[in-house]
Amino acid sequence: MNVGVFNGCFYTDPTTAKPTWKNYYPGAVNITVGTIDAYVYDNPQQLFEVQAAGSLAQTDMGNLIDTHTYVAGSTINGQSKEEISTAVTGSGATAQWRLIRGSEEVGNSDKSSANANWVVRLNESVYYAGVVLT
């Protein structure tokens, strides 16, 4: 089950002793004072725009889909490089995301092209009280 999508973290940097905000989690940081606070988009109805790892079809909308193989994000701007798989799941199955619609982003909204952007929402959320929507 997912809580949501990571949006950044806040902590006291052990080297500079200054409060620090990062759009990504610098895994090598070993804080000595305080805690690392993570900020998460946790609204289960929140929509996200994500790139597909290959090609999907207009007819795939409404189906469920999982995250593709993990890829580390950018430490420069905090942007994720994660993509969704192109293997949609059938009726009665479960998956992390539901395809809502194709993106309207100019230059990356051609649904017949590989790596087009799509709009998704969480399907396996802890806020659905253990009920996975199919």
Q: Which of 122, 119, 112 is nearest to 59 (CA)?
A: 112
pLDDT score for 46: 93
41-89 confidence digits (pLDDT tens): 999 899 999 989 988 888 888 899 998 877 777 777 777 778 888 888 8
Residues 6+ apart with CB under 8 A from 46: 4, 5, 121, 122
Count CB neighbours of 83 within 10 A: 19
Beta strands in the chain (DSSP E): 5-12, 19-22, 37-41, 47-52, 64-65, 83-84, 97-102, 117-122
What's the chain's average pLDDT?
A: 84
Local structure of 59: helix, strand or coil:
helix
pLDDT band at 131 (very low <50, low <70, confident <90, very high): low
Residue 29: pLDDT above 60? Answer: yes
pLDDT score for 80: 77
* Single-letter amino acid code for the residue at 19: P
Residue 39 in contact with residue 88, Cβ under 8 Å?
Answer: no
What global pTM score does this model have?
0.80
